[in-house]
Amino acid sequence: MRRGLSGVIAIILLTFLISACSGGNNAASPAASGTPAESQQPAAGEGPKDGGSLIIGVAADPVVLNPNYAGDRVSLTIDQALYAPLFQVNNGKKTFYLADSLTPSADNLTYTLKLKSGLTWHDGEKLTADDVVFTIEKILDEKQNSFLRANFLINDQPITATKVDDLTVEFKLPQVSPAFEATLVQVTPIPKHIFENETDIEKSTKNAAPVGSGPFKFKEYKAGEYLTLERFDNYFGGKPHLDSVTYRIAKDANAANLALQNGEINVQYLDPKDVSTIQATNNFEILPYAEGRLSYLMFNANSDTGVLAKKEVRQALSLALSRDEIIQTAYTSSEYADPAKSFLTPDALYFTNDVPTFDNDAAKAKEMLQAAGVSNLKLRFIVQSGNKAQEAISLYVQQKLKAVGVDVELKSMDSSAWVQKFIDLKATDFELALTGYIMGYDPDAYRILFTSGASSNYSHYANPEVDKLLNEGAGEADPAKRADIYKKAQEIVAGDAPIYPIAYTKTVVAISKNYGGLEEAVLKPVVIFEDLSKIYQK
């Protein structure tokens, strides 16, 4: 489920269909996603102007407004406006935000980061190298429980960050790491002067009124209803066009679609089944784009029944299902989803879908369950109410597993409760959950999902051989050797079946035609827009 939600080499838990993410490793512009570029250009009299507001529909309350801990889609989306990153990477090209440059040494063991001058936090305090070093130190501090920590360890040795001067930070690596820049792209500095005396930053009350460095600053939050940000005039990228951005919490998809059509919401994710209805209004740009996202069914090996700790049971349950049928059920067509077998996504280095798979063989599923000594199996499936894809897939899974003698209880809950349940690594009262992640282009990001005891290993998967491979992959500089490592890791994980990969999905977002600047804002995985300062009302 980041930010894995966010670019992120880190993980990003996605409330939309949750789990781990990428925080700026890829992007799609409206033109790139199938909408003619000329349609994005303002007509005469519709050019950029200052003022106005934007209302974005979100499916749940944010979990935490702190980029070091945000893993759900809603928190990451809001944090993207509140906090500026050091830099982002889109289609292999860096865009610098707080940073001015990042330069590796000849031996690739030292990286020198230069910040822009004159940076400030929303409260007027200076943003300097001290804040960057503080952020890295807190990520590495085990007591602070940041899910990013694992990615700053290479063969269990930490990357160190040292202040050279107010605008310069030097990163030293214990060994060459081809994944380092993809790791650093996930870092969004937090203010040292706000958090330096907090013993538990994740649970700090300071997160309730966050002080960031992004284009918009915190104004007001009413749980279950809305969160509003207002323009930050001293944003280093230039004063944003909009006066404010409001995130309207709409947990029911049907109500959200109605609000979208009535103009009460201006931007919203769409279920593929709702595209034709919204498109018919002719009031919205409909932009489907690939996020590098895997949708999958997770098997919780930590449940109090203990049954899913058995590899053979997970394989059997997978055999009872058909990913092609699920894609048709939930996404209407292959236009929005490609069949998935690997835990890596197609945008990742060394991806292959040529791995073992357990799929669409009910007779074999029954045999394997019997051989494993399993009978009268009862499973609990947590489902986000109002999420059409989850509801459709959960009913499908219930039906298909019943056909092989497995009873599935559907436990419906609202999105906020579902997220809290899912990210609780101690939760033992469910076996199944439908989720997804976006992890970015470097496969090292996936370590936090699939190594034993990792911070975002929600399936509680454990295989020492996979642990060894993923740790080796993080520090292997030879591309050919690295490719072999990740090919083997993909094969082993697929064979162990800790998850049932369903599809590499496309995300569809509807944006009111009353707004411009979409290309400049950059359509982005997880967070919709990379830089909201560029959006304007026509």
Is residue 526 a contact partner of residue 77, using CB atoms and an 8 Å limit?
yes
In a domain, 516, yes or no: no
**C-alpha separations of 110 from 103, 162, 278, 401, 456 in Å:** 8, 11, 51, 53, 28
**pLDDT score of 55:** 98
Cis status, amide bond into 293, omega within 30 of 0: no
**Mean per-residue pLDDT for 322-343?**
90
Average pLDDT estimate for 237-258: 94
Rounded-to-integer distance, Cα 225 and Cα 515, Å: 23
CA distance 144 to 137: 10
Looking up residue 495, the CATH number of its domain turns out to be 3.10.105.10
Quick one: pLDDT at residue 144? 94
Residues in the chain: 538
Identify whether 449 is part of a domain. Answer: yes
Q: Which is nearest to 85 in space by CA: 72, 63, 70, 74?
A: 70
DSSP summary character for residue 471: H
Give the phi and the psi of residue 99 in degrees, each rounded to 5.
-80, 150
Kindly state whether residue 535 falls inside one of the protein's structural domains. Answer: no
- The stretch 330-342 carries a mean pLDDT of 87
Amino acid 211: pLDDT: 98
pLDDT of 65 over the 50 cut: yes
3-state secondary structure of 420: helix
Average pLDDT over residues 142-150: 90
Q: Output the pLDDT for position 330.
A: 87
CB-based contacts of 367, cutoff 8 Å, min separation 6 = none
- Alpha carbons 294 and 502: distance in angstroms, whole number: 7
Buried b (16+ CB within 10 A) or exposed e, 157-191: ebbebebeeebbbbbebeeebbbbbbbbbbbbbbb
Identify the burial level of 282 via C-beta atoms within 10 angstroms of its C-beta, where 0-12 means exposed, 13-18 middle and 19 or more buried. Answer: exposed
Strands (E), 353-405: 377-384
Q: Is residue 185 part of a domain?
A: no
> What is the spatial distance between Cα 63 and Cα 423, in angstroms, rounded to a whole number?
10
- For residue 163, give the nearest of 196, 137, 187 by alpha carbon: 137
| Residue 525 pLDDT level (bands cut at 50, 70, 90) | confident
> What is the C-alpha to C-alpha distance for residues 389 and 157, in angstroms, rounded to an integer?
41
Could you tell me if residue 258 is inside a domain?
A: no
Tokens matching residue 403: 């056909």
What does the alpha-carbon distance between residue 350 and residue 321 come to, in Å, rounded to a whole number? Answer: 27
Would you tell me how many other CB atoms lie within 10 Å of the CB of residue 350?
Answer: 18
Confidence of residue 486 (pLDDT cuts 50, 70, 90): very high
Whether 502 and 320 have beta carbons less than 8 Å apart is answered as no
Confidence label for 233 from pLDDT (cuts 50, 70 and 90):
very high
CB 163 within 8 A of CB 140: no
Calpha distance 433→74 (Å, rounded) = 19
- Residue 17 counted as domain residue: no
The mean pLDDT of 32-57, rounded to a whole number, is 62
Which of the four pLDDT bands, split at 50, 70 and 90, describes residue 45? low
Q: Rounded to whole angstroms, what are the CA distances from 387 to 384, 422, 509? A: 6, 15, 15
397 lies in some domain: yes
The first and second tokens of residue 298, run together, are 């997770």
Per-residue model confidence as pLDDT tens digits over 161-196: 999 999 999 999 999 999 899 899 989 999 999 999
Domain that holds residue 316: 291-506
User: Which of the residue ranges 9-13, 43-47, 510-514 has the most confident prediction, judged by mean pLDDT?
Assistant: 510-514
pLDDT in tens, 277-321: 999 999 999 998 888 999 999 999 999 999 999 999 999 999 999
- The whole-angstrom separation of Cα 94 and Cα 78 is 22
Alpha-carbon distance 84 to 135, whole Å? 13
Distances (CA, A) of 4 to 11, 64, 168, 436, 487: 1, 15, 28, 9, 21
336 pLDDT tier (thresholds 50, 70, 90): confident
DSSP per-residue string spanning 336-352: SEEE--SSS-TTSTT--
CA 505 to chain centre: 13
Cα separation, 352 vs 174, in Å, equals 29
Provide the phi-psi class of 253: left if phi over 0, else alpha when psi is between -120 and 50, else beta.
alpha
Domain count for the chain, please give it: 1
pLDDT, tens digit, 9 for 90 and up, residues 68-115? 899 888 999 999 999 999 999 887 789 999 999 999 999 999 999 999
User: Is residue 22 within 8 Å of residue 2, measured between CB atoms?
Assistant: yes
* Rounded average pLDDT over 413-428: 92
pLDDT confidence band for 2 (50 / 70 / 90) = very low
Q: Is residue 326 part of a domain?
A: yes
Mean predicted confidence (pLDDT) in 465-480: 92
Cβ 413 vs Cβ 382: under 8 Å: yes
Name the residue among 310, 398, 269, 292 with its Cα closest to residue 351: 292
Using CB atoms within 10 Å of the CB of residue 360, give its burial: 0 to 12 exposed, 13 to 18 middle, 19+ buried.
middle
Please give the pLDDT value at position 36: 31
Which of 494, 504, 503, 500 has its CA nearest to residue 318?
500
Pairing state of beta strands 499-512 and 267-270?
antiparallel
Where do we find the tokens 């409001």? 246
Cα separation of 488 and 476, whole Å?
14
What lies within 8 Å, CB to CB, of 207 at 6+ separation is 64, 65, 66, 201
Give the pLDDT band of residue 33 (cuts 50, 70, 90).
very low
